[in-house]
Amino acid sequence: MAAIQSDNLTKYYGQEIGIKDVSLEILSGEIFGFVGPNGAGKSTAIRTLLGLLIPTSGSAKIFGQDVASLGHKIRMDIGYLPSEVNYYDEMSSRELLEYHCRFYGIYDYADVDRLADIFELDLDKEITDLSFGNRKKCGIIQALLHKPKLLIMDEPTSGLDPLMQNVFYDVLRKERENGTTIFFSSHILSEVQNICDRAAIIKHGEINAIENIQSLLQKQMKKGVLVFNQKPSRLEFPNGIQKQKWYDNRLSFEYVGSVDKLIQWMSQLDLLDVILEEPELESIFMNYYENDHE
C-alpha cells in the first residue's frame, strides 16, 4: 500500500494557482524528497495533502484513507513539521513537548529527554528565548515523539547548522529502518541527493519529474576527460558524446547515455587515464528550471 497517494490534486487561491494536477505515489518505508524553490507550491501541496487546506479538485489518500473525510483520524499517525513553527511562548521546551506527549496519550516522557539530548535542545528554556534553529529542533522532536507511521516535514533543516543537519539525517535514516515513511520538502539539493530514495521536482505548482535519485543522476550529462598515450589520427565516437575538445593528447567531452556503453567504447582505446565527473543534483535541478521565465 502506498503511504501517500494523490490524484490530480489542485488548489487555487482565487484565480491564482497554488498547485495544479499534483499526482504522487509515495511508497511505505521510503524517504521521498519534494524539491523546488520558494513559491513553487511545496507548502501548499503538503498542507493540502494533510487536509489542512481544502483542495479545489482532485483527491488524496494516506495509508489508503481519504484525507477529505478522515483527515482528523489520519493525522494521528502523522508527525508534521511546518516550515515555520509557532508555539506558546510562555511554555518551556519541556512543558511543550510533554504536553504534546499527553495529547497522544503518552505519559512516559523518556523520549523527550532522549531526543533533546540528541538534538542538543535545552528543555528548561522558555520558547520565547529560543533561537529559530532551536525552535526548529523543538518542532522536529515534537513530530517524532508519538512514533508516527509517516513523517511530513516542510523545509526541516532550515535554521540548523551543518553538524545538526547531519544529526537530523541520521535520525531520519533510523526512522526509516524502523519502517517510518518520510516525505520532506527542501531546496537544499545536496541533502535530497544524499538521503532520499526518490524525489519530485515541482515548478509553478506542477510536478515536472518524479525519479529515483540514482536514475535521475544516471540519465544526466556527464563530463569526461580521456588521456591518450598518443593522440589518434582518427577516432569514431559513440552516440551521446558531444562538445569534444582536444588539448594535445587529452580529449574532453560531455556524454548522455548508458555508462556501460561508454566504458565499452573506452576499453578499446589506448589510454593513460580516464576522468569521469558525475553530475550533481543541482545541475539536474537547474536543467528543469532553465526556462523558468519563458
Helix (H) / strand (E) containing 251? strand 250-255
Q: Does the pLDDT value for residue 291 go beyond 60?
A: no
pLDDT tens figures, 256-275: 777 788 889 999 999 999 98
Phi/psi of residue 52, nearest 5 degrees = -80, -20
pLDDT over 70 percentage in the chain: 92
- Look at 293 and 146; give whichever has higher pLDDT: 146
pLDDT at 27: 95
Phi, psi dihedral angles at 57 (to 5 degrees): -160, 170
Q: Is the model's pLDDT at 293 over the cut of 50?
A: no
Residue 13 — φ and ψ, nearest 5°?
Answer: -105, 95
- Determine the pLDDT at residue 283: 64
Distance CA 95, CA 12 (A): 38
Residues in the chain: 294
Residue 277: beta bridge partners?
Answer: 223
- Any idea what DSSP says for residue 149? S
- Alpha helix ranges (H) inside 187-275: 189-195, 213-219, 259-266
DSSP 291: T
Q: Which of 154, 131, 129, 121 is nearest to 46 (CA)?
A: 154
The helix/strand/coil state of 164 is: helix
Mind listing the pLDDT tens digit for each residue in 61-111?
999 999 999 888 999 999 999 988 888 889 999 999 999 999 999 999 999
Cell of 275: 576522468
What is the structure's pLDDT at 294? 40
What share of residues in the chain are helix, strand, coil (percent, to 5)?
A: 35, 30, 35
Q: What is the mean pLDDT of the chain?
A: 89
139's grid cell: 518542532
User: pLDDT tens-digit profile of 6-59?
Assistant: 999 999 999 999 999 999 999 999 999 998 888 889 999 999 999 999 999 999
State yes or no: pLDDT of 167 exceeds 80. yes
Host H or E run for residue 238:
none
Is beta strand 78-81 parallel, antiparallel or unpaired with respect to 241-247? unpaired
Query: Between the CA atoms of 196, 199, 203 and 207, what dihedral angle is there, to the nearest 10 degrees?
Result: -160
The pLDDT value given to residue 256: 77
Tell me the per-residue pLDDT of 169-220, one tens digit each, with 9 for 90 and over.
999 999 999 999 999 998 777 788 788 999 998 988 999 878 787 776 666 6
Select from 167, 177, 175 the least CA-distant residue to 146. 175
Which pLDDT score is estimated for 147? Answer: 96
Cell numbers describing residue 77: 499517525
How far apart are the C-alpha atoms of 189 and 278, rounded to whole Å?
15
CB 285 within 8 A of CB 201: yes
- Contacts of 185 by beta carbon, 8 Å cutoff, 6+ apart: 33, 34, 35, 36, 42, 43, 46, 83, 153, 154, 155
Give me the pLDDT at residue 227, please.
Answer: 94
Q: What angle do CA 88, 93, 94 make, to 5 degrees?
A: 120
